[in-house]
Amino acid sequence: MGLTTYLKKRDFRKSPEPQSGKTNPKQLIFVVQEHHASQHHFDFRLEMEGVLKSWAVPKGPSMNPADKRLAIITEDHPYDYKDFEGVIPKGNYGAGKVKIWDSGTYTPIDTVKGKAAQEKLLLKQLKDGSLKIQLHGKKLKGEFALVKTKGMEDNSWLLIKHKDESPTTAKLPDPFSPMLATLHAAPFNDDDWQFEIKWDGYRVLAYVNDHKVDLISRNGRSYTKKFHPIAEALQEVGSNAVLDGELVVTDDKGIARFQQLQHWKTEADGDLIYYVFDLIWYNGKDLRGLPLSERMQLLKEMLPSDHPTIRMGFTIQGRGTELLDSAREMGLEGIIAKRLSSTYQSGKRSPDWLKIKTQNRQEAIIIGYTKKEESPKLFSALLLGLYKNGQLHYAGKVGTGFTDKQQRELMKQFKPLVVKQASIKKPSLRDPITWLKPVLLCEISYTELTEQGIFRHPSFKGIRDDKAATEVVLEKEPDLLLPDRSLKTVIKKVNQKELTFTNLDKLFWPEDKLTKRDLLNYYAQVAPYILPYIKDRPQSLYRFPDGYKGKRFYQKDITGKVPDWAATFPYRTEGDRKDKNYLVVKDEASLLYLVNFGCIEINPWSSTIKKPGYPDWCLLDLDPGSKTDFSQVIDVANLIHDLLESVDIPAYPKTSGSTGMHVYIPLGKKYTYEQSREFARVLVTLVQQETSRYTSMERTVSKRQGKLYLDFLQNRSQATLAAPYSVRPKPGATVSMPLHWEEVKQGLKMQDFNLRNVPALLNERGDLFKPVLGKGIDMMAALKRLQQL
């Protein structure tokens, strides 16, 4: 009998558990699929409780695909299948022989004749738990084994868990910290999840022993004395358990009141209730490895069903939307969603527990107000706006939450801001609108934001005067490509193409703790912004498979190395008798494919395959030398700007993300590379003459004497530069960031723009480089104007 069953059958309230040294072996069997095997790795898939896990195991000496049959999977804590770490034991285990003994008789069972019979027997022994596994006389150290028998299908393995006992008898770590929930934007319905009310109180762990109860807060503070009625009640209810729950004070309507809890002194201050929602420990058994569903079952059996102060909170399976609605009706803070199969992950803010709020807070810009004709109020509703991609959008109207006094004060502030023209596209509203200059900020609460970006159920909370209106953007948790930090390999469809993302935990920037997963998430987030500048362009690959400090190499020819769906562009070098092929980015999938290949930076041509000889932009590359630095780059960039502005040539600057800056001039595919280069030469020559003290156009490094190099020669076919929004393989994961010319001034730092902050910045600023792909300049007219100078 498994321990879980055993625990379930017990009535914990009636008699103490007998102390017994006997352990109950528990073994679990799963069929693991070998999904994709390369020369260097096995990729395993395991479908468990409806969730697909996958992980890569590097091939070691014992992992030949033809013959070797065994790998060991170990893990740190019991029963959490998401944290598999692939480990290949060193040494030679012979030609695929896994010796398997019957644990009772210790007779080898690998001598059974016939494949089918062998497999059948093995499975039987695994199922009834009578199996011990040894490798050449040595007991397996790991808690799991992957076993392949000769009778099994090629892509199937058996994963055997052969722990002696589960849950374990071990000391509870001290200090012990509770599992935490991740904030989640919207409710959902899913039968794999349980939903419960989020109570507004103190998170309290209760250590219940025979003669003593301790109530401990999340920060390790003792609440035993302060909330002694709860401690006393727990003492009656049970013993030898560690419970997790929320301690609340309810008002006369039964609603938890946080303020009242803070000031609670005696029973006259309100009714204390301890809502228990998890059982972590019972009679020396650590239950954290059990799935939530089983812990809940045990908890239900352990707690009395009708105790006035120690209660099990209400839970419902699958119907999150419904529960959030009722929580909102009741004026509660929100709900918690918990994955039924999840283990208790101490101290972790886990994606298996999600907090979903009934009320969200957001700042918004007041862009006007309406007034109903007949209304005695000064105004009926405020019109709200938000910036998205650098543009102001209508975000709904708020008609509640302000007092008459607040209305009078607001009207005073509105007076000097009244304008005739709307600052946005006019929403269709019945009541007459007074438009305001979009500078005033307010804070609102709301329940939901619609697809169109309109607040639902907004309520006014007050004026904000500590921020500029342009700083206000939607505080929305981005949907990440790879949100689950416990998966080391993920197979995912992007643009209808199946991509395998590997080695997601590999530290690409160890100092910044940034992983390959972070890099992929970054590019997925900025894909809409970067794609215009890399789509349909052949790519020069610069690969860093082991992170920015690791080995690196350039790659252009990808013939035969990329899947069929990847677009390519043929080329030849001198003496080639066959075509070589550039990789061409077409969509998010091909971009992410590159990134998974270890391409930290993206290096596209200046022209597309549609018109390969005609670049979209002309570029000036400002590279500081050994005796110059970024501050001179800023100076010379501004001089270039002044010059171009004086002759009416548009130009757009970006940091390079490395040491210098890039300036792009739109050409609109109208001129050849040679024309672009000669145009750049003219511009750079003019600027260099003015700044000869610290700039140079010399191709030979030594002749530059450490001066800043004005590089115009990259205006040439097949030459590449790091794309806008490209990350660079540099400390701090810097990004090549398009700027306003006003930002190009002393004090600007390369590190201001990096993998961590650029996605949010882009949401505010939009794509500043958009005009680079717009109408190209009239080069001849521009040259004529330059000549007049």
718 binds DNA (CB under 7 A): yes
| Backbone phi and psi for residue 53, each to the nearest 5 degrees, phi listed first | -110, 150
Residue with Cβ nearer DNA (395 or 519): 519
Query: Of 114-122, 162-170, 714-722, 763-771, which part binds DNA (CB under 7 A)?
Result: 714-722
Contacts by residues 23-28 (CB-CB < 8 Å, ≥ 24 positions apart): 23/164, 23/165, 24/165, 25/129, 25/162, 25/163, 25/164, 25/165, 26/2, 26/129, 26/161, 26/163, 26/165, 26/166, 27/126, 27/129, 27/131, 27/160, 27/161, 27/162, 27/163, 28/160, 28/161
Partner in contact with 350, chosen from Mn ion, DNA, none, beta carbon below 5 to 8 Å by kind: none
Distance CA 585, CA 405 (A): 59
Please pick, from the candidates 503, 606, 691, 695, the single residue that binds DNA as defined by CB under 7 A.
503
- Residues 624-663, interacting with Mn ion (CB under 5 A): 656, 660
Determine which helix (DSSP H) or strand (DSSP E) holds 697, and give its type and residue range: none
Tokens of 313: 């909170």
**Angle subtended at Cα 679 by Cα 673 and Cα 681, rounded to the nearest 5 degrees:** 105
- CA-to-CA separations, 751 to 527, 630, 730, in angstroms, rounded: 21, 12, 10
Residues whose CB is less than 8 angstroms from the CB of residue 706 and which lie 6 or more positions away in sequence, other chains included: 625, 626, 627, 628
Residue with Cβ nearer DNA (228 or 699): 699
* E-state strands within 199-283: 202-208, 213-217, 241-250, 271-282
Please pick, from the candidates 361, 492, 561, 745, the single residue that binds DNA as defined by CB under 7 A.
561
Residue 622 C-beta: closest distance to Mn ion, Å: 7
Residue with Cβ nearer Mn ion (34 or 621): 621
601 binds Mn ion (CB under 5 A): no
Tell me the β-bridge partners of 128. none
Tokens of 746: 């002393």
Site residue total, DNA (CB under 7 A)? 54
Residue 783 C-beta: closest distance to DNA, Å: 18
Written in H, E and C, the secondary structure of 520-555 is HHHHHHHHHHHHHHHECCEECEEECCCCCCCCCEEE
Please pick, from the candidates 112, 647, 713, 783, the single residue that binds DNA as defined by CB under 7 A.
713
711 binds Mn ion (CB under 5 A): yes
> What is the Cα 474 distance to its own chain's centre?
17
Distance CA 91, CA 76 (A): 23
Tell me the β-bridge partners of 279. 243
- Residues 79-138, interacting with DNA (CB under 7 A): 92
Distance CA 705, CA 709 (A): 10
Query: Of 14-22, 56-64, 154-162, 264-272, which part binds DNA (CB under 7 A)?
Result: 56-64
580 binds DNA (CB under 7 A): yes
Q: Are 128 and 1 in contact (CB under 8 A)?
A: no
* E-state strands within 401-551: 418-419, 433-446, 448-449, 455-456, 459-464, 490-494, 497-501, 507-509, 514-515, 538-539, 541-543
Please pick, from the candidates 623, 644, 723, 758, the single residue that binds Mn ion as defined by CB under 5 A.
623
Task: Give one word for 284, left, alpha or beta, with left for phi > 0 and alpha for psi -120 to 50.
Answer: left
Partner in contact with 143, chosen from Mn ion, DNA, none, beta carbon below 5 to 8 Å by kind: none
553 binds DNA (CB under 7 A): yes
Partner in contact with 660, chosen from DNA, Mn ion, none, beta carbon below 5 to 8 Å by kind: Mn ion
Residue 625 C-beta: closest distance to DNA, Å: 8
- CA-to-CA separations, 230 to 200, 203, 204, 265, 774, in angstroms, rounded: 17, 13, 11, 13, 69
> What is the Cα 681 distance to its own chain's centre?
44
Residue with Cβ nearer DNA (352 or 623): 623
784 binds DNA (CB under 7 A): no
Query: Of 215-223, 395-403, 545-553, 753-761, which part binds DNA (CB under 7 A)?
Result: 545-553
| Backbone phi and psi for residue 775, each to the nearest 5 degrees, phi listed first | -65, 130
Partner in contact with 41, chosen from Mn ion, DNA, none, beta carbon below 5 to 8 Å by kind: DNA
545 binds DNA (CB under 7 A): yes
621 binds Mn ion (CB under 5 A): yes
Tokens of 398: 């708020």
| Backbone phi and psi for residue 708, each to the nearest 5 degrees, phi listed first | -75, 130
Please pick, from the candidates 14, 40, 253, 430, the single residue that binds DNA as defined by CB under 7 A.
40
Residue 659 C-beta: closest distance to Mn ion, Å: 7
Please pick, from the candidates 20, 496, 700, 746, the single residue that binds DNA as defined by CB under 7 A.
700
- CA-to-CA separations, 632 to 243, 503, 623, in angstroms, rounded: 63, 40, 10
Partner in contact with 198, chosen from DNA, Mn ion, none, beta carbon below 5 to 8 Å by kind: none
571 binds DNA (CB under 7 A): yes
196 binds DNA (CB under 7 A): no
Determine which helix (DSSP H) or strand (DSSP E) holds 170, and give its type and residue range: none
Partner in contact with 571, chosen from Mn ion, DNA, none, beta carbon below 5 to 8 Å by kind: DNA
Active site residues: 198
Half-sphere exposure (CA, 13 Å, Cβ side) for 519?
40
Residue 61 C-beta: closest distance to DNA, Å: 3
Partner in contact with 110, chosen from DNA, Mn ion, none, beta carbon below 5 to 8 Å by kind: none
Partner in contact with 588, chosen from Mn ion, DNA, none, beta carbon below 5 to 8 Å by kind: none
Residue 487 C-beta: closest distance to DNA, Å: 15
Query: Of 221-229, 335-343, 697-705, 723-731, which part binds DNA (CB under 7 A)?
Result: 697-705
Distance CA 525, CA 727 (A): 13
Residue with Cβ nearer DNA (701 or 780): 701
Partner in contact with 380, chosen from DNA, Mn ion, none, beta carbon below 5 to 8 Å by kind: none
Distance CA 256, CA 274 (A): 11
Partner in contact with 259, chosen from DNA, Mn ion, none, beta carbon below 5 to 8 Å by kind: none
Task: Name the burial class of residue 601, with classes exposed (0-12), middle (13-18) and buried (19+) by CB atoms within 10 angstroms of its CB.
Answer: buried
- Residues 232-251, interacting with Mn ion (CB under 5 A): none
Query: Of 180-188, 298-306, 571-579, 621-629, which part binds Mn ion (CB under 5 A)?
Result: 621-629
Distance CA 283, CA 7 (A): 10
Residue 553 C-beta: closest distance to DNA, Å: 4
506 binds DNA (CB under 7 A): yes
39 binds DNA (CB under 7 A): yes
Binding region for DNA (CB under 7 A): 38-41, 61-64, 66-67, 92, 500, 502-503, 506, 516, 540, 543, 545-546, 551, 553-557, 560-561, 571, 573-574, 580, 596-598, 621, 623, 674, 677, 681, 698-703, 709, 711, 713-714, 716-719
Binding region for Mn ion (CB under 5 A): 621, 623, 656, 660, 711
